[in-house]
Amino acid sequence: MENERKGGMKIIPAILTDNNEDFQNKIKQSESICDFAQIDVMDGRFVPSKSVGVEALSSIDASIGLEFHLMVEDPLSYLEAAEKSKVKRVIFHYETKSIAPEKIIRQIRSKGMQAGLAVNPETGLSQIKHLFNQIDVLLLLSVNPGYYGSPFKTEVLDKARELSSAKHNFIIALDGGVKIDNILDIKDAGVELACVGSGIFKGDVKENYRAFIAKIS
Q: Give a yes or no: residue 5 inside a domain.
A: no
Task: Give the range of the structural domain holding residue 132, as residue numbers without chain letter.
Answer: 10-216
What is the Cα–Cα distance from 76 to 139, expressed in whole angstroms?
18
* Residue 102 within any structural domain of the chain: yes
Mark the ranges of the chain whose per-residue pLDDT is less than 70: 1-7, 146-149
What per-residue confidence (pLDDT) applies to 1?
A: 44
Whether 1 is covered by a domain: the verdict is no
> Alpha-carbon distance 147 to 150, whole Å?
6
Rounded distance between C-alpha atoms, residue 187 and residue 58, angstroms: 33
Give pLDDT, residue 97.
82
Q: Any idea what the CATH number is for the domain that residue 28 is in? A: 3.20.20.70
Active-site residue 40, yes or no? yes
Does residue 103 fall inside a structural domain?
A: yes
Identify the active-site residue in 175, 181, 185, 204.
Answer: 175
How many structural domains does the chain have?
1
Q: What is the pLDDT of residues 113-167, one digit of tens each?
A: 999 999 999 999 999 999 999 999 999 999 988 665 678 999 999 999 999 999 8
**Residue in 35, 40, 43, 185 annotated catalytic:** 40
SS3 assignment for the chain: CCCCCCCCCEEEEEECCCCHHHHHHHHHHHHCCCCEEEEEEEECCCCCCECCCHHHHHCCCCCCEEEEEEECCCHHHHHHHHHHCCCCEEEEECCCCCCCHHHHHHHHHHCCCEEEEEECCCCCHHHCHHHHHHCCEEEEECCCCCCCCCCCCCCHHHHHHHHHCCCCCCEEEEECCCCCCCHHHHHHCCCCEEEECHHHHCCCHHHHHHHHHHHHC
In-domain check, residue 90: yes
The reply to whether 4 falls in a domain is no
Say if 48 falls within a structural domain: yes
136 as an active site residue: the answer is no
